[in-house]
A and B are shown apart, each in its own frame.
Chain A
Amino acid sequence: MTSTRRRLLVLVAAVLVLAGVGTGVVLHAAARADRQNQPQTGGPAVADGQLTLHQKKRLVFVNGAAGPHRTAVASVASADPKGRRTASDLKCARFYAAAGTGVCLQSTTGVLKQSNRALLLDANLRTRHTFALAGTPSRARVSPSGRFAAWTVFVSGESYSSAFFSTRTSVLDTRTMKLTPSLETFSVVRDGKPYHASDINFWGVTFAADDDTFYATLNTGNKTYLVRGSMSRRTVTTLVENVECPSLSPDGTRVAFKKRILSRTDLWHEYVLDLRTLKETPLAERHSVDDQATWLDDHTIAYALPSQGKVGTSDLWSVPADGTGTPRLLIAGASSPAPL
């Protein structure tokens, strides 16, 4: 009996200690989350303001600087990206806009799962339509004309030998409001022959100016391909291997992409591929880039890199698209750039 009592005492003591540690850990994390929403000294100037997608010569992005406007869609003057930020009250995990159409991917924590949705936005960032998402937001793009919007999410727990992920890429025709829930329903031509597989994944769509052609990454059998697709014919065709997250230049001649430099590692180098010659040019960025890059103009590429020493925040950098020059810090504490 005394032995049982002693064991119970040990248990009660342990429960108290462990509960204390657990509570401490949660409170610490909650305090840190609160601090993220407080403006920090030395941080950039962010102010509430009117933000429309019709404004010219501005760069829109998701603000990552600590403060009440963290994760809000904000904009700066393209000529002065380090200047004062104008922030809207729309908060997004991923964002893109073109020609007066915006897409905002949001994520909220529910009771038993994360709740994710995509918002289709008008030029005043008002929600035109909401779509439930199957997983965690990853990439978003709008066609140059503003007609098509595409997004990629990570879906967990569906591949057979794995408890982990696949991707789901959806495309929306904003004119007809017809949603293609998954590009996996498109027919695939690989190396000139029709191709079927259950392990096909698409991600990182980028649209051409003709409102039909698009490029994306296709993954199957542990290989990634750059594919060219047609919205009207519902097909994709593989072009070259080891290309991820393509981004088409405004003139439609080149694709910026991330290339895995070591198989089975998360290390990528940013390249530009000339679509006519299929010649690849490595860019001057030495760090591993895990982002779908954005063309600021026909000669400059912008992308996010994790902020030094800070978990969960990123900075925007830019680099010349021809492999010359050096990377330049564009906007600190920011992600999802979209030039207007």
Chain B
Amino acid sequence: MYLTDRSAPPKAGAADQGRRRGPVSGVAPVVLVLGTVSLITDISSEMVTAVLPLYLVTTLGFSPLGFGTLDGVYNGVSALVQLTGGHLADRVRNHKLMAGLGYGLSALCKPLLLLAGSVGALGTVLALDRTGKGLRTAPRDAMISLSTPAGRQGRAFGVHRAMDTTGALLGPLTAFLILRAAADGYDAVFGVSACVAVLGVLVLVLFVPGRRRAPDAPGAPEEGTAGRQPVRVREALALLRLPRLRALAGCAALLGLTTVSDAFVYLLLQRRAGIAEEWFPLLPLGTAAVFLLLAVPVGALADRIGRRTVFLAGHAVLLTGYALLLWAPAAPALPFLVLALHGVFYAATDGVLPAALAGVVPDHLRASGLAIVGTSQALARFCCSLAFGAAWTLWGPGPALAGSAAGLLCCAVAAGVVLRPADEAR
């Protein structure tokens, strides 16, 4: 896939930007703005995520079991909403509007959390929050994609994901700072979270170029859509006839089917490496830290040596992580190593997959294309979670993981074949 990317002529303005040094050199301003929006929004949402369990148990006195069962439904809804958000953004030819609606909806949910005193009400607010997240993902990624020349997509998405993850790390820190200042101050956490979310929406509204505004970034969103007929559902569905997109969506789904969800990875790590349970909440932070550090360099590497190679290598790294978990040597470095591999996997796949779409999907259908691939991956991962849970129940964690590892190996080989560069490749 990277050959098509590279053969695309760099758009005006990209070349001289590329001469600047540093991790963000050659990254369009709109990517940095969107990264900032994501950073701010992730602080806001992770603040809530970090304290929500405590809030439910200690303040509302909820017995939280039975609450989680609805969560699976939300995951499905969120994935389908992503399709809707992506397609609508293309259809109204206004990615900023759709992304803004998504961010706005999630911001609105933060103060509503305080008013939700029952499981049903809280579930509704959380579902709305997820809907907002689903709506904004594809249009936001489309804006990143459309503002960046094809040869720099990996780095642009890397910068965005690094900023996003920074927010995810700062969120819990902020939340627990507030709880230390004000005992049981969950309302304060939600209040501050709402303020932060509003700030994120505001940065988006003020600094992301809209449809009508003259582009101040090379290849701003409206380019390529100007003067076109409105996008119809049929046209978006026709995307599925593009062999390259079908291959990417298929491989994303195939690999997603064998990618054990984060929660299970941490649980397996905790059990097999014998980590004391009180450290469990910190395991995701390890993955996030590695992801944060490597997102930009690995994204840039993908631009240079090919996204297919890096994307597949990422899964090979994950496979190594599974192997380590299966082997579980009694080494103190084991948890660090597994978390590092898990973080590398994210750095090599999370932003690299949408980056690979740039040369595949026409500009005016970019958000729809991103949504198709994103949704197939999300739904596949959810199916994997259910299957993994069932396998765990039937055969225990070790065989379940071994099965996933074998499946991942097969899927990665299949993906390697399906995604092999076209004949004209080197």
A associates with B: yes
Q: Would A163 and B58 count as touching, CB distance under 8 A? A: no
Q: Tell which of A39-47, A57-65, A191-199 binds the partner.
A: A191-199
* Interchain CA distance A26-B195 in the complex, whole Å: 12
When the two chains form the complex, which single residue of A112, A133, A181 contacts B176, counting CB atoms closer than 8 Å?
A112
User: What are the interface flags for A98-125 relative to B under an 8 Å C-beta threshold, 1 for contact and 0 otherwise?
Assistant: 0000000001011111111000000000
User: What are the interface flags for A154-178 relative to B under an 8 Å C-beta threshold, 1 for contact and 0 otherwise?
Assistant: 1111111111111110000000000
* Contact A28/B188 with A162-B71, A168-B277, A311-B59 known, Cβ cut-off 8 Å: yes
* Interchain CA distance A21-B195 in the complex, whole Å: 7
* Interchain CA distance A166-B119 in the complex, whole Å: 16
* CB neighbors of B among A54-108 (8 A): 93, 107
Q: Would A198 and B281 count as touching, CB distance under 8 A? A: no
Cβ distance A4 to chain B, nearest Cβ, rounded Å: 9
Q: Would A306 and B71 count as touching, CB distance under 8 A? A: no
Question: Chain B residues near A197 (CB, 8 Å)?
Answer: 393
Q: Would A164 and B67 count as touching, CB distance under 8 A? A: yes
Question: Chain A residues near B72 (CB, 8 Å)?
Answer: 161-162
Cβ distance A172 to chain B, nearest Cβ, rounded Å: 15
Main SS of chain B's interface residues?
helix
Q: Would A312 and B59 count as touching, CB distance under 8 A? A: yes
Q: Would A158 and B280 count as touching, CB distance under 8 A? A: yes
Is B276 positioned at the interface, with any CB of A under 8 Å from its CB? Answer: yes
Q: Would A109 and B180 count as touching, CB distance under 8 A? A: yes
Q: Would A154 and B188 count as touching, CB distance under 8 A? A: no
Q: Would B61 and A290 count as touching, CB distance under 8 A? A: yes
* CB neighbors of A among B151-175 (8 A): 172-173
Q: Tell which of B251-259, B380-388, B402-410 binds the partner.
A: B380-388
Q: Would A26 and B188 count as touching, CB distance under 8 A? A: yes
Nearest-neighbor residue (CB-CB) of A304 within chain B: B61
Cβ distance A141 to chain B, nearest Cβ, rounded Å: 17
Q: Would A158 and B263 count as touching, CB distance under 8 A? A: yes
Nearest-neighbor residue (CB-CB) of A37 within chain B: B183
Nearest-neighbor residue (CB-CB) of A198 within chain B: B392
Cβ distance A321 to chain B, nearest Cβ, rounded Å: 23
Q: Would B185 and A30 count as touching, CB distance under 8 A? A: yes
Is B360 positioned at the interface, with any CB of A under 8 Å from its CB? Answer: no
Question: Chain A residues near B278 (CB, 8 Å)?
Answer: 115-116, 132-134
Is A325 positioned at the interface, with any CB of B under 8 Å from its CB? Answer: no
Question: Chain B residues near A109 (CB, 8 Å)?
Answer: 176, 179-180, 183
Total count of chain A residues near the partner, CB < 8 A: 64
When the two chains form the complex, which single residue of B118, B276, B282, B382 contacts A113, counting CB atoms closer than 8 Å?
B282
Q: Tell which of B84-92, B197-205, B315-323 binds the partner.
A: B197-205
Q: Would B203 and A199 count as touching, CB distance under 8 A? A: no
* Contact A198/B64 with A112-B285, A164-B71 known, Cβ cut-off 8 Å: no
* Interchain CA distance A7-B202 in the complex, whole Å: 10
Question: Chain A residues near B276 (CB, 8 Å)?
Answer: 132
Question: Chain A residues near B198 (CB, 8 Å)?
Answer: 14, 18
Nearest-neighbor residue (CB-CB) of B120 within chain A: A265
Nearest-neighbor residue (CB-CB) of A23 within chain B: B192
Q: Would A33 and B185 count as touching, CB distance under 8 A? A: yes
Nearest-neighbor residue (CB-CB) of A19 within chain B: B195
When the two chains form the complex, which single residue of B182, B195, B386 contacts A32, counting CB atoms closer than 8 Å?
B182
Q: Would A156 and B58 count as touching, CB distance under 8 A? A: no
Q: Tell which of B49-57, B302-310, B350-358 binds the partner.
A: B49-57
When the two chains form the complex, which single residue of B187, B261, B382, B394 contacts A25, counting CB atoms closer than 8 Å?
B187
* Interchain CA distance A157-B281 in the complex, whole Å: 8
* Interchain CA distance A21-B111 in the complex, whole Å: 13
Q: Would A33 and B386 count as touching, CB distance under 8 A? A: no
Q: Which of A93, A110, A181 has the most CB of B within 10 A?
A: A110
* CB neighbors of A among B371-426 (8 A): 382, 385-386, 388-389, 392-394, 396-397
Q: Which of A15, A165, A219 has the most CB of B within 10 A?
A: A165
* Interchain CA distance A156-B71 in the complex, whole Å: 13
Question: Chain B residues near A25 (CB, 8 Å)?
Answer: 187-188, 191-192, 195
Q: Would A199 and B178 count as touching, CB distance under 8 A? A: no
Is A10 positioned at the interface, with any CB of B under 8 Å from its CB? Answer: yes
Nearest-neighbor residue (CB-CB) of B202 within chain A: A14
User: What are the interface flags for A173-217 relative to B under an 8 Å C-beta threshold, 1 for contact and 0 otherwise?
Assistant: 000000001000000000000001111010000000000000000
* Contact A112/B195 with A10-B206, A29-B182 known, Cβ cut-off 8 Å: no
Q: Would A199 and B206 count as touching, CB distance under 8 A? A: no
Is A2 positioned at the interface, with any CB of B under 8 Å from its CB? Answer: no
Is B207 positioned at the interface, with any CB of A under 8 Å from its CB? Answer: yes
Is A308 positioned at the interface, with any CB of B under 8 Å from its CB? Answer: no
Question: Chain A residues near B7 (CB, 8 Å)?
Answer: none
* Contact A198/B65 with A134-B277, A161-B71 known, Cβ cut-off 8 Å: no
Cβ distance A104 to chain B, nearest Cβ, rounded Å: 16
Is B2 positioned at the interface, with any CB of A under 8 Å from its CB? Answer: no
* CB neighbors of B among A297-315 (8 A): 306, 311-312
Q: Would A138 and B57 count as touching, CB distance under 8 A? A: yes
Question: Chain A residues near B385 (CB, 8 Å)?
Answer: 160-161
Q: Would B185 and A26 count as touching, CB distance under 8 A? A: yes
Nearest-neighbor residue (CB-CB) of A114 within chain B: B54
Cβ distance A225 to chain B, nearest Cβ, rounded Å: 13
Is A237 positioned at the interface, with any CB of B under 8 Å from its CB? Answer: no
Q: Would A160 and B191 count as touching, CB distance under 8 A? A: no
Is A252 positioned at the interface, with any CB of B under 8 Å from its CB? Answer: no
Is A264 positioned at the interface, with any CB of B under 8 Å from its CB? Answer: yes
* Contact A167/B172 with A26-B192, A109-B180 known, Cβ cut-off 8 Å: no
In the A-B complex, list the 9 residue pairs whose CB atoms are closest, starting with the nearest: A162-B68, A134-B277, A29-B185, A25-B191, A161-B72, A29-B182, A29-B188, A156-B53, A162-B71
A selection of 29 A-B contacts at a CB cut-off of 8 Å is A10-B202, A11-B202, A25-B192, A26-B191, A29-B187, A29-B188, A33-B184, A109-B183, A113-B50, A113-B281, A132-B276, A135-B53, A135-B277, A136-B54, A156-B281, A160-B388, A160-B389, A161-B71, A163-B71, A164-B53, A164-B64, A164-B67, A164-B71, A165-B65, A198-B389, A198-B397, A244-B63, A266-B63, A290-B63
- Give me 4 other A-B pairs in contact (C-beta within 8 A), A113-B281, A161-B389 excluded: A30-B181, A155-B280, A160-B261, A196-B396
B residues within 8 Å of A by Cβ? 49-50, 53-54, 57-59, 61-69, 71-72, 75, 118-120, 172-173, 176, 178-185, 187-188, 191-192, 195-196, 198-199, 202-203, 206-207, 261, 263-264, 266-267, 276-278, 280-282, 284-285, 382, 385-386, 388-389, 392-394, 396-397
A residues within 8 Å of B by Cβ? 7, 10-11, 14-15, 18-19, 21-22, 25-26, 28-30, 32-33, 36, 93, 107, 109-116, 132-136, 138, 154-168, 181, 196-199, 201, 219, 222, 244, 264-266, 290, 306, 311-312
